[in-house]
Structure 1
Amino acid sequence: MLQAGFHDVPAGHIAAVVTHLEMRAAAPVRSGAGAEGLSLLRIEEPDPDWYRALFLRVGGQDWLWFSRLLLDDDALADILEDADVHVYVLRRDGLDIGLMELDFRQPGACELAFFGLVSSAIGTGAGRFMMNEAIRLAWAAPISLFHVHTCTMDSPQALDFYQRSGFVPVRRQVEVVPDPRLSGLLPETAAPHVPILK
């Protein structure tokens, strides 16, 4: 456990406060405008290159999503082709604008492992549409727990959005990791709100 006070983060690293949230029963569907032209499609066998490209478009430039970029093709395919990992793409008028991943590998639970939109789709109602579908799909399985985590490097709207969707915060952690921009995994221009300390 960290003691109260300031703690140095090593040069070349980034730190985030991670909030874990849970839903113990299906939350009611929330109405929202903006569903016109939207479709959510499950991709049964996602191609790793397609997945990485969408992953980067949704979270790599603005929010420092990088965990899946550390995996080689075989390791990523092992996850994406697992029958208990459900990958969805949100499309509007034929364009891929969102990524959602439901992970049922823990018996009796579903993790909302990834959930995000390209920046142009934020605030259009697309997120509400996708979350309504996430809740419906997760609770259609025999689960007693639906959970997600977000951090201070995600969109500042994310935590409030999850709580309005019916998730309840249950735990907080601090995560310190090497800055993916310094290794070339992401461009140095990614997430300008998080300064690079070499």
Structure 2
Amino acid sequence: MSLSDGFHDVPPGKVAAVVTHLEMRAPADVRPAPTLAGMTLRRVAAPSSDWYKDLFRRVGAEDWLWFSRLRMEDTALKAIIADPRVHIYTLIREGVDEGLLELDFREAGECELAFFGVSKNLIGTGAGRFLMNHAIEKAWKEPIIRFHVHTCTLDSPQALPFYIRSGFTPTRQQVEIADDPRLSGLLGANAGPHVPVFR
């Protein structure tokens, strides 16, 4: 179905986002990143769902309305994050997990940058650039021909230009409509303050 030109109402209780898909067909050059004293990157094999959801919330849920993984039943979530073809990394500062990098190799010949971000404690420190350099390096160490990601207008406005600067090329856009997670109590009423609630 294609949308006609013009405005389209978003039903009450829903949120709408424009989703941009991007891809990289060859390894991009890594961009200079600061040396991050006291920070380490660690792979977490088969993390517990509680650990994963806590980090997911702190990186993306409260500010940017990340909610897809929080809606999942634990068995479905565990099936993804325990899969050996899904590589999950955390960026640690002073013993606290502050960044999430999730590389999904379940599709042969491809890697999806499934989730990527740092907590508000690291925004502006260069940690995102550091994490992206590792994402590019680790993705292309595997036998892939395509590295892809998508972002949307619910996310940080810095996300899309950051991905483009990192070497990803936009390939298509979609409109996504979903139940507002703040109305069900999945996220707090003050989450995603840049997105209005329509009851």
- Taking structure 2 as the reference length, the TM-score comes to 0.97
Q: Identical aligned pairs, as a percentage?
A: 62
Alpha-carbon distance, 1:74 to partner: 1.2
For the aligned residue pairs, the C-alpha RMSD in angstroms reads 0.8
Which residue of 1 is the match for residue 131 of structure 2?
130
Whether 1:164 and 2:165 are equivalent positions in the alignment is yes
Alpha-carbon distance, 1:52 to partner: 0.5
Which residue of 1 is the match for residue 54 of structure 2?
53
Alpha-carbon distance, 1:93 to partner: 2.4
Q: Distance in 2 between matches of 1:141 and 1:93?
A: 30
Whether 1:105 and 2:106 are equivalent positions in the alignment is yes
Which residue of 1 is the match for residue 79 of structure 2?
78
Name the SS of the counterpart of 1:62 in structure 2: helix
Alpha-carbon distance, 1:34 to partner: 4.5
Contact 1:34 1:124 in 2 (8 A): no
Which residue of 2 is the match for residue 144 of structure 1?
145
Which residue of 2 is the match for residue 30 of structure 1?
31
Name the SS of the counterpart of 2:185 in structure 1: coil
Alpha-carbon distance, 1:131 to partner: 0.2
**Does 12-21 or 29-38 show the bigger shift?**
29-38
Name the SS of the counterpart of 1:142 in structure 2: coil
Alpha-carbon distance, 1:57 to partner: 0.5
Alpha-carbon distance, 1:190 to partner: 0.2
Q: Distance in 2 between matches of 1:142 and 1:48?
A: 28
Q: Distance in 1 between matches of 2:72 and 2:78?
A: 9
Contact 1:85 1:105 in 2 (8 A): yes
Q: Distance in 1 between matches of 2:46 and 2:152?
A: 29
Amino acid at match of 2:10: V
Which residue of 1 is the match for residue 40 of structure 2?
39
Contact 1:12 1:178 in 2 (8 A): yes
Q: Distance in 1 between matches of 2:118 and 2:24?
A: 22
Q: Distance in 2 between matches of 1:49 and 1:166?
A: 33
Question: Deviation per CA, 1:94-134, whole angstroms, max 9, x where unpaired?
Answer: 22111110000110000000001111211101000000000
1:11-30 → structure 2 map (5 Å cutoff)? 11-30=12-31
Name the SS of the counterpart of 2:121 in structure 1: helix
Q: Distance in 2 between matches of 1:145 and 1:179?
A: 32
Amino acid at match of 2:138: L
Q: Distance in 1 between matches of 2:195 and 2:123?
A: 20
Question: Deviation per CA, 1:44-63, whole angstroms, max 9, x where unpaired?
Answer: 11010010011001111000
Following TM superposition, where does structure 1 have runs of at least 4 consecutive aligned residues deviating by more than 4 angstroms?
Answer: none
- Taking structure 1 as the reference length, the TM-score comes to 0.98
Amino acid at match of 2:57: L
Q: Distance in 2 between matches of 1:96 and 1:63?
A: 18
